[in-house]
Amino acid sequence: MSTPVHDYLEDLHTRVAQDDSGVVADYIPELALADRSSFGIALATVDGALYEAGDTRLPFTIQSISKPLTFAMALEAHGEMVRERVGVEPTGEAFNAIDLEPLNPLVNAGAILTRSLLGANPEPSLLQGYGAFAGRELSIDDRVRESESHTADRNRAIAHLLRGAGRIDGDPDEIVECYIAQCSVLVDCRDLAVIAATLAAGGRNPITGRRAASSDTVRDVLSVMATAGMYDAAGDWLYDVGLPAKSGVAGGVIAVLPGRLGIGVFSPPLDDRGNSVRGVGVCQELSQSLDLHMFKHAHRGPSPVRRTFTLAEMTSKRQREPAVAARIARDGARARAFELQGDLGFAEAERVTRAVLDAPAELVVLDLRRVRDVHEAAVALLAGLGDRVSALSAAPDELAHAMNVQPFEELDRALEFFEDRLTGDTVAPALLSVRDHAVLREVPAADLASLEGLLEHRFFAAGDYVMRAGEAVTELLLITRGVVSETVGLAGGGIRRVATVTAGMTIGELALLGGGQRIGDARADTEVECYALPADALSGLRELDANLRAVLLRNLLGIVAARSVRMREDLATLAD
Amino acid sequence: MSTPVHDYLEDLHTRVAQDDSGVVADYIPELALADRSSFGIALATVDGALYEAGDTRLPFTIQSISKPLTFAMALEAHGEMVRERVGVEPTGEAFNAIDLEPLNPLVNAGAILTRSLLGANPEPSLLQGYGAFAGRELSIDDRVRESESHTADRNRAIAHLLRGAGRIDGDPDEIVECYIAQCSVLVDCRDLAVIAATLAAGGRNPITGRRAASSDTVRDVLSVMATAGMYDAAGDWLYDVGLPAKSGVAGGVIAVLPGRLGIGVFSPPLDDRGNSVRGVGVCQELSQSLDLHMFKHAHRGPSPVRRTFTLAEMTSKRQREPAVAARIARDGARARAFELQGDLGFAEAERVTRAVLDAPAELVVLDLRRVRDVHEAAVALLAGLGDRVSALSAAPDELAHAMNVQPFEELDRALEFFEDRLTGDTVAPALLSVRDHAVLREVPAADLASLEGLLEHRFFAAGDYVMRAGEAVTELLLITRGVVSETVGLAGGGIRRVATVTAGMTIGELALLGGGQRIGDARADTEVECYALPADALSGLRELDANLRAVLLRNLLGIVAARSVRMREDLATLAD
């Protein structure tokens, strides 16, 4: 499908294809057979989108792009010891330099040393490790492996020097064979993009969703790729392109924009440093024309505080009696909600602490429904807000524990809790005489008796359905005891509370008056008593004194209008 | 004020203060007078928060931290030529190495060369340039300057070598004096944090809000700081700390987390590489315990798509007749809005294009009200969506131009435009007989005549106030011609539309029925005719046939209930 990103890649492909310079590697005979005109570009994002242009499904050998993957596997297996054994200094020398100082895992000597840390002959686990990055099962090209094995004298020399220097333990020839096998793993350009995107995503493969390496390992791998990935002068690549990258002698290149995306390029002709000419060209273009240089890409993301509001601006779905609602409106500014979004690291948590401290309120709730991950540093910082925050909603357990505040599953419930705190309103259901119900206000005493003949008394146990979604509504329920919650089903599954009503309030008025069906269920939270008023009493179809009908309708209008005014305020708050 | 971040810095200060190793620089006699126990840490964020612990207001000389600032000024003045003249390779050598290859702007030889590009003796402009980074007026410490001048033999030798190699044009001794002057600029620890935060913010000083350098310049400066800032082996600092940084021999250190924050540290004792022992310790702690390593900090931010919904889920504030509203509910899924947030670069624009293409709709609007900046690469990418997007709201002109779609000031207006497109509803005000008004539906013909005696005919010209905010509402207006818009004032200034109503609809029903005052204004968009029904006719205070009153109230209830149902749906959409 043509998309703007795809169109961009096609255009980039056309432009960079014009550079036909470079020489296909021939020191390994099998590599010399590559078609110099093959050229593919693939881009994968940290959330799993994949774009391709050109020859992205042609297999070729991974060669030195295996080095950061083996380094990652060694770090996973041995941790910081790897850095002490191998080093991380860019050498500024050719990839096959024979010097042992300085060393890093991305030049041959360091890569052979790194490979030795994984032991001899474990190809299956190596293929598994690489496959976790690529997101599919990989295999080895035996012809290339044999061809490389016949021309591996220099690497054998390096391995022997390494053992001579006491830096590897095993048999040098065996280790070189293992190293050649890792270089002979077959990949395509799309695989490279997925590998790069896995590094961009902190080690979690965005296609499979499975973790290929820890974020600490990826931090270390990217650090070395940033200075030593392109056999280049260490400062030049970071300055010109600013993307951690790695090239292979078969013509592959990966480049990583951390947190965003990964690039894979395949084009066999190499420049005199041994990097794919077009691979370098694509990286330069992306960095310059798309501002993907990691020090240019430093623009600010959306605030971690998605929205903040007080109870004076928006309340819970719990409907309140007018006097209680008035108290909430008056005192609501003393309670404030902060809806957070995105991952929270130290810098985001700092903004959250500042927002909380800058907007003083007695009661504060942080809502983490839209937060995916709370890093350790953020937990530590937010813990310091423990005495300024009274509640959390949809928060991970360790955060609630560290902050030592009351956790709620939903923000709505935390708001209700705050309202109760502010007003002292009790959940305990009062028993109301139906004569005192708001719908019957100002009904003359003489009319009450005839009206009571129409009202049907109902009782529900806690958990009973009072009305069900889809039912035609033919009566209005006047609640005289207990608590009823109305919910709607969500498109993505689950339900959401839209209202909780108590004695003195009604159920069914909107569907009744709009002439429709129930949208959601109404269920009794507690034991509930209520009186059902038939719809036709209000419409005039059933004989009822016209004056009485007008009083009932006016009362209902007052109730519905008051609720509408509040909804309109909520809408204004939410739209802001 | 104690805040969690401040508490963290105080704690960090206490921990790092325990390391009393290192030697105060004494090769410049004046520096040897520094109190080795002075120690300050300051942290500034890209949005202008500042935290301090310890001795953050003690003045000291900037020394080599001047180098990236002079480099920035040279880049601003001369662009890419600077890189060709100076180079960007880390040297791996001592800061005062006399070798001329490789060179970079952060070792003495490269810094003297860089300084020479700004011409001789322009201290005032230099102080101005540095001051833009620090956010205040700076001055030179003449005692240090003189002291350094007496011990500058090595730098003079370097300058002469540079001229001998044909790399500088001016008088070597003069240039060295200028270089010593730049090293003698007085700063405090807080200044360093602001300088670092200015670099973190892409060149815009977060305290003054003024730009100190372009984002391209900052990209180049950070690139060199990443590999060559700490006189360290180039790979080690990036690997261990992963923050572009620079130290000065007086004990200052700056470190930058791009896009997030800047750190300033002051502590005179130096390690054997010439970096402040505690300055390095603080950077290591921040990187490790707070995960501020730039390759660790790659977690995902909030999505650039803040919310998306169709017209079936939420409509404009234009109230529609029931038949039109039903058509919108039926066909509304064909029109979709995307509310975007944060700055948009290439990677964010990619996510936006994907979201748009994955949710096919005939009519698409992108709302940029919460977007601060749209980078060039994002404009180019979004332009490719031109045939899939029909409208933009709150978008910069260049984006609307590149996409060639209709711009709207507010999303609400774009939604209304889509509704008109979907339904063919016209804005042209129909003239309605008051007898056909929805409030008078089913009123018996015999009653209409007596009712008309109560109704007062009103006329408004376009722009007239129909009702004003704060007014007590004593009548219900039945619109028979024209268009009226209701607005509310926003806390931050400006107004927002809450409803637009037309012939057959009402004004004032909520305030009337809730018994209150107008919250916002209602103004005529076109010529308007309407009929005013006194409130006391509905309440029963004014003599009116009870049957007739009941019919009117029932009609009004139907209208208000239908609107409430829609508001409840909008609330569910917005809360999602």
The answer to whether A396 and A374 have CB atoms below 8 angstroms apart is yes
Catalytic sites of A, residue numbers: 64, 67, 179, 231, 249
Strands (E), A461-513: 465-467, 475-481, 483-489, 495-502, 506-507
**ipTM of the prediction:** 0.88
Of the residues B116, B231, B324, B371, which is catalytic? B231
Nearest-neighbour CA in chain A from B250: distance (Å):
26
Is residue A440 within 8 Å of residue A555, measured between CB atoms?
A: yes
DSSP A310-362: ETTT---SB---HHHHHHHHHHGGGEEEEEEES-B-HHHHHHHHHHHHHS--S
A396-400 contact pairs (CB < 8 A, 24+): A396/A368, A398/A374, A399/A368, A399/A374
Dihedral sign (CA B522, B525, B528, B530): negative
Q: Which residues of A touch B293 (CB under 8 A)?
A: 219, 223
Per-residue pLDDT of A26-39, as tens digits, reads 888 888 999 999 99
Residue A340 near residue A367 (C-beta atoms within 8 A): yes
Of A215, A496, A258, the residue nearest A373 (C-alpha)? A215
A242 Ramachandran zone, left/alpha/beta (phi>0; psi -120 to 50): left
Per DSSP, the three-state class of B2 is: coil
Q: Which CATH architecture has domain A4-289?
A: 3-Layer(aba) Sandwich (3.40)
How many Å is the Cα radius of gyration of chain A?
34
Q: What is the CB neighbour count within 10 angstroms for residue B18?
A: 8
> Which residues does chain B have within 8 Å of residue A107's beta carbon, measured at their own beta carbons?
none
Report the alpha-carbon distance of residue B525 to residue B462 in Å, rounded: 5
pLDDT score at A457: 94
Distances B155 to A559, B274, B279 between C-alpha atoms, Å: 85, 16, 25
Which residue is associated with the tokens 């429709």?
A516
What six digits make up the tokens of B571?
């609330």
Q: Which residue among B302, B562, B564 sits closest to A342, beta carbon to beta carbon?
A: B302
Mean pLDDT of A256-279: 95
- What CA–CA distances, in Å, run from B440 to A153, B83, B507? 99, 81, 15
| Selected residues 274-313 of chain B with any CB under 8 Å from a CB in chain A | 289-302, 304, 306
Which residues in B lie closer than 8 A to residue A354 (C-beta atoms)? Answer: 3, 5, 49
Mention every residue, 6+ apart, whose C-beta is less than 8 A from residue B426: B420
Determine the Cα–Cα distance for residues B545 and B435; give it in Å rounded to an integer: 17
A113/A478 Cα distance (integer angstroms)? 80
The burial of A332, by beta-carbon neighbours within 10 Å (0-12 exposed, 13-18 middle, 19 or more buried), is given as buried
Q: Do A375 and B215 touch (CB under 8 A)?
A: no
Strands (E), A361-420: 363-370, 391-393, 406-408
Output DSSP code: residue B64: G
Measured between CB atoms, which of B46, B201, B557 is closest to A556? B557
- Rounded to the nearest angstrom, the minimum Cα separation between B236 and chain A is 6
CA proximity to B251, closest of B289, B231, B280, B225:
B280
Residue A316 pLDDT > 70, yes or no?
yes
Instruction: Among 2.60.120.10, 3.40.50.450, 3.30.200.20, 2.60.120.330, name the CATH number for the domain at B434-575.
Output: 2.60.120.10
**CB within 8 Å: A510 and B565:** yes
Residue A461 has a pLDDT of 97
Residue A1 binned pLDDT confidence (cut-offs 50, 70, 90): low
A347: Cα separation from own chain's centroid? 17
B283 min Cα distance to partner chain A (Å): 14
**Nearest residue of A to residue B377, measured between CA atoms:** A290
Strand (E) positions, B443-482?
Answer: 456-460, 465-467, 475-481
How far is residue A354 CA from its own chain's centroid? 23
Q: What angle do CA B355, B361, B367 make, to 5 degrees?
A: 60
Does B522 reach chain A within 8 Å, measured CB to CB?
no
pLDDT at A96: 74
pLDDT at B429: 57
Return residues 149-188 of A near B (CB < 8 Å).
Answer: none
CA distances from A16 to A12, A53, A232, A284 (A): 6, 12, 20, 10
Residue of B nearest to A342 (CA): B302
Segment among A297-301, A356-360, B111-115 with least mean pLDDT = A297-301
Q: Tell me, what's the pLDDT at B515?
A: 64
CA atoms within 13 A on the CB side of B416: 20
End-to-end CA distance of chain B: give it in Å, rounded.
36
Q: Determine whether the interchain pair A258/B560 forms a contact, defined as Cβ–Cβ distance below 8 Å.
A: no
Asked whether the beta carbons of A262 and A44 are under 8 A apart, the reply is yes
Contact A283, A263 (CB under 8 A): yes
From chain B, the residues in CB contact with A261 under 8 A are 347, 350
Report the greatest alpha carbon distance in chain A: 111
Helix (H) or strand (E) holding B60: strand B60-61
Euclidean distance between CA atoms A459 and A528, whole angstroms: 6
Residue A219 Cα, gap to closest chain B Cα (Å): 5
Out of A222-236, A293-307, A360-374, the most confident range is A360-374
B400 φ/ψ sector (left φ>0, alpha ψ -120 to 50, else beta): alpha
Residue B352's nearest CA partner among B326, B374, B335, B329 is B374
For chain A, report the end-to-end CA distance as a whole number of angstroms.
Answer: 36
Rounded Cα–Cα distance for residues B575 and B568 (Å): 10
Residues of chain B whose pLDDT is less than 50? none
Averaged pLDDT, A375-381: 91
Highest mean pLDDT pick, A303-307, A546-550, B95-99: A303-307
Sheet with A495-502, side-by-side order of all strands: A465-467, A521-524, A483-489, A495-502
Look up the CATH architecture of domain B305-423. 2-Layer Sandwich (3.30)
Those residues whose C-beta lies under 8 Å from the C-beta of residue A41, and which sit 6 or more positions away, are A9, A12, A13, A16, A52, A53, A54, A56, A189, A263, A264, A265, A282
CB pairs < 8 Å spanning A and B: 361
Q: What is the dihedral of CA A446, A449, A455, A457, to 10 degrees?
A: 140
A565 — pLDDT class (breaks 50, 70, 90): confident
pLDDT in tens, B280-314: 999 999 998 888 999 986 566 789 999 999 999 89
Residue A434 has pLDDT above 70, yes or no: yes
How many C-beta neighbours within 10 Å does residue B441 have? 15
Name every chain A residue with its beta carbon within 8 A of the beta carbon of B306: 302, 306
From CA A376, how far away is CA A374, in angstroms rounded? 7
Q: Where are the domains of chain B?
A: 4-289, 305-423, 434-575
Helical ranges in A201-345 per DSSP H: 215-228, 234-240, 277-289, 322-331
**Could you tell me which residues come within 8 angstroms of residue A491 by beta carbon, excluding any fewer than 6 positions away?**
none
Give percent above pLDDT 70 in chain A: 96
Please state, in angstroms and rounded to a whole number, the distance separating the CA atoms of residues B280 and A517. Answer: 68
Angstrom distance (rounded) from CA A200 to CA A44:
10
Cis amide leading into B102 (omega within 30):
yes
Per-residue pLDDT at B431: 80
B295 → closest Cβ in A92, A219, A239? A219
Within the 215-244 window of chain B, which residues sit less than 8 Å (CB to CB) from chain A?
215-216, 218-220, 222-224, 226-228, 233-236, 238-239, 242, 244
Amino acid at the residue A445? A
Is the separation of the CB atoms in A189 and A58 below 8 Å? yes
Whether A19 and A281 have beta carbons less than 8 Å apart is answered as yes
Mean pLDDT of chain A: 90
Render B288-353 in DSSP notation, one character per residue.
HHS---TTT-------SEEEEEETTT---SB---HHHHHHHHHHGGGEEEEEEES-B-HHHHHHHH
- Separation of alpha carbons B517 and B521, rounded Å: 11
Residue B546, φ and ψ in degrees, nearest 5: -60, -40
**Dihedral angle, C-alpha A268, A273, A275, A280, nearest 10 °:** -120
Question: For an interface test with A, which of B295, B309, B379, B490 has the most A Cβ atoms less than 10 Å from its Cβ?
Answer: B295
For chain B, the residue count is 576
Å between A426 CA and nearest CA of chain B: 25
The tokens 């529900």 sit on which residue? A460
Are the beta carbons of B258 and A294 separated by less than 8 Å? yes
- What is the arithmetic mean of pLDDT over A87-97? 75
Per the model's pLDDT, the better-predicted residue between A396 and B517 turns out to be A396
Give the pLDDT confidence score for residue A121 in this predicted structure: 63
Q: Give the SS3 label for residue A292.
A: coil
Closest CA–CA distance from residue A228 to any residue of chain B (Å): 8
Nearest CA in chain A to B341: A302
CB contact under 8 A, B224 and A235: yes
